């Protein structure tokens, strides 16, 4: 028969296979299955099966032809970048950077109440430097900070309509503690949510009964350990890979 390349008739099962090639050179395998009263039913397979050795050393059927590979960037499942937070360039207060006239003196594993700043601000700003707007423009709704080696970014939100320098310090302190706790729980195969809930319940009861809150020293120790004792504040710099994300640079505690 024209176009028939191979014909094989089963001895006992009564089924046949025919490989057909059309004018475009595409091979199709027609398989005939027995039906009642001697009739046969044919169905087509779009691509022929070929025996190919996989990386595991097994002979598994593979398709010799098929659809084009999915280009993830052009697929409906590709990540869509978020719009910029502002139509104008965003900067943080020079006090939060490493190149301002004044800088923050603080180790991020300690409470923000221990933070101070060097001289270089005006007398008015020196008095309430934690209340200064942290960003310019000041109406930016959020500030995202990344601290190595913690995977979860820190998102600073305004408390009174404007993100202040104090808000950034509080968020960095809480974010570093949360990041260290997440790694600690991951090492112990414990849910971080369970750990945080238990700690908050204990602290709440301790405050109600006038007792000391616990766990602060241990969490601070974990922050120092996971950061290789590089917890002294240096400053924020724009991320080289992500828009509207700032990277916090730190240095060893012993370095002044």
82 in Cβ contact with 208 (< 8 Å): no
Share of the chain above pLDDT 70, in %: 61
**What are the pLDDT digits (tens) for 137-179?**
988 899 999 999 999 999 999 988 899 999 999 999 999 999 9
Most confident of 30-34, 117-121, 204-208: 117-121
Q: What is the pLDDT of residue 56?
A: 47
> Tokens 């423009």 sit at which residue?
137
Query: What are the structure tokens assigned to 222, written together?
Result: 């974990």
pLDDT at 237: 95
Would the CA dihedral through 81, 83, 88, 93 be positive or negative?
negative
> Residue 191 is encoded by which pair of tokens?
């849910």
Task: Give yes or no for residue 62 having a pLDDT over 60.
Answer: no
Handedness of CA 102, 107, 108, 113 (dihedral sign): negative
Residue range 79-137, pLDDT digits in tens? 666 777 776 788 999 999 988 778 899 999 999 999 999 877 877 777 789 999 999 99
Q: Rounded CA gap, 25 and 97, in Å?
A: 66
Which of the residue ranges 3-7, 129-133, 186-190 would you say has the lowest mean pLDDT? Answer: 3-7
pTM for this predicted structure: 0.63
Q: Show Cβ contacts of residue 229 under 8 Å, excluding neighbours closer than 6 positions.
A: 252, 253, 254
- Chain centroid to Cα 119, Å, comes to 38
CB 165 within 8 A of CB 134: yes
pLDDT attached to residue 80: 67
Q: Where are the alpha helices (DSSP H) in the chain?
A: 123-127, 165-188, 192-208, 216-226
Sign of torsion over alpha carbons 200, 206, 208, 210: negative
Average pLDDT on 35-62 reads: 49
| CA atoms of 4 and 18, how far apart (whole Å) | 7
In which band, very low, low, confident or very high, does the pLDDT at 12 lie, cut at 50, 70 and 90? very low
Phi, psi of 53 (to 5 degrees): -75, 125
């Amino acid at each position: 028969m024209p176009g028939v390349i191979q014909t094989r008739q089963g001895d006992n099962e009564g089924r046949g296979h025919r490989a057909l090639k059309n004018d475009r050179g595409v091979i199709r395998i027609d398989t005939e299955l027995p039906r009642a009263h001697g009739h046969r039913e044919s169905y087509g397979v779009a691509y022929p099966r070929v025996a190919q050795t996989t990386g595991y050393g097994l002979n598994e059927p593979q398709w010799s032809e098929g659809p084009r590979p999915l280009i993830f960037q052009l697929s409906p499942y590709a990540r869509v970048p978020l719009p910029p937070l502002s139509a104008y360039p965003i900067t943080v207060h020079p006090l939060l950077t490493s190149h301002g006239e004044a800088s923050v003196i603080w180790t991020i594993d300690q409470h923000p109440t221990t933070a101070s700043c060097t001289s270089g601000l005006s007398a008015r700003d020196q008095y309430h430097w934690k209340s200064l707007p942290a960003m310019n423009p000041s109406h930016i709704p959020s500030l995202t900070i990344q601290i190595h080696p913690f995977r979860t970014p820190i998102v600073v939100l305004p408390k009174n309509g404007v993100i202040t320098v104090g808000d950034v310090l509080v968020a960095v302190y809480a974010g570093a503690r949360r990041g260290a706790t997440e790694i600690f729980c991951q090492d112990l195969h414990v849910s971080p949510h369970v750990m945080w809930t238990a700690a908050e319940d204990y602290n709440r009861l301790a405050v109600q009964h006038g007792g000391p809150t616990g766990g602060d020293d241990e969490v601070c120790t974990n922050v120092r350990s996971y950061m290789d004792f590089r917890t002294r504040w240096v400053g924020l710099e724009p991320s080289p890979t992500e828009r509207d994300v700032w990277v916090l640079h730190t240095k060893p505690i012993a370095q002044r």
